[in-house]
Structure 1
Amino acid sequence: MKAGGIMENSLHLKIITPNKTFYDGDIDSVIVKTTGGERQILKNRRPFSAEIIEGNIKIKSEKSTELVFSTGGFISSEYENVVILTKMAKNVD
């Protein structure tokens, strides 16, 4: 771990809707469905941007895997940061 408790191999993910920041935390990877197919984003990947389609976003961390349903939107990643903009997001049970 780095100083401050941040994992060395972690990404910082934000999922933002028009009303709020739905998710803001450190993760190991995120998997989204884009118009070009399914993509997994890991730390230190070259910058990447794409349109995402409606479906589940899979958020993986050391402790768990979370599913978040999204109505689609846009993803942008740069090395250690990932931002997903979507009209609506909700947790999948």
Structure 2
Amino acid sequence: MAEPEKLFQIKIVTPNGLIYSHRGSSVSMRAVDGDRQILYNHMPILTPLAIGEIRVKRGAEMDHKVDYIAVSGGIIAFADNVATIIADNAERARNIDLTRAEAAKQRAEAHIKEAKEKHDQQSLQRAELALQRAVTRIRVYDALHHK
């Protein structure tokens, strides 16, 4: 007899409240020091996250469905088979407005060009972060809609 699949709780919280809460077989993300994946019974961990996508594999009960969530940094804490991600902003792929994300990308690219022309390092850094967030949202949207 096959062993039952080991699932754990995954929650994503922002200042606006709970964005995501499901059980999954794995959660993958980009930490500031590289890619990470957490599985059932992983050792406790607390690590900062980079701007990027969170991928949650939901398990056999959901035909191994993968949920995609864009986050703009934050932290992940994992202990006792509960993964909690706290982020300033998080957006599920199904909620991303692609037109708005593409417009944000174009604005950020224009701000980067302008900041470079003015040699404004602070504005350049802000625009580069805005570009990363917009590109991440587009990539997360594409992951859901173009499998």
TM-score (norm 1): 0.87
In 1: Cα distance, 2:29 partner to 2:80 partner: 17
Give the counterpart letter for 1:83 in structure 2. T
Q: Deviations over 1:14-42 (max 9, x none)?
A: 10000110011111110010011100000
Answer yes or no: is 1:40 the counterpart of 2:37: yes
Equivalent residue for 2:9? 12
- 1:41 and 1:24 map into 2 onto residues whose CA distance is 16
Aligned length: 87
Q: Which moved more, 1:7-16 or 1:36-45?
A: 7-16
Structure 2: where are the runs of 5+ without partners?
94-140, 142-147
Please give the alpha-carbon distance, in whole angstroms, between the structure 1 residues aligned to 2:83 and 2:77: 6
Unaligned segments of structure 1, at least 5 residues: 1-6
Contact 2:9 2:83 survives alignment (8 Å): yes
- Which deviations, in whole Å up to 9, do the C-alpha atoms of 1:34-84 show, x marking residues without a partner? 011100000101101100000110111122001100001000001411000
Percent of pairs with identical residues: 28
Q: 1:76 is matched with which residue?
A: 77
CA RMSD in angstroms comes to 1.3
1:17 maps to amino acid: T
Counting helix residues as a fraction of each chain, which structure ranks higher?
A: 2
Which has the larger Rg?
A: 2
- Give the distance between the partners of 1:79 and 1:19, measured in 2 at CA: 25
- Is 2:47 aligned against 1:50? yes
2: CA distance, partners of 1:17 / 1:29: 21
CA distance in 2, matches of 1:79, 1:45: 9
Note if contact 2:5-2:25 (Cα within 8 Å) is conserved in structure 1: no
* Partner Cα distance (2:58, 2:15) in 1: 25
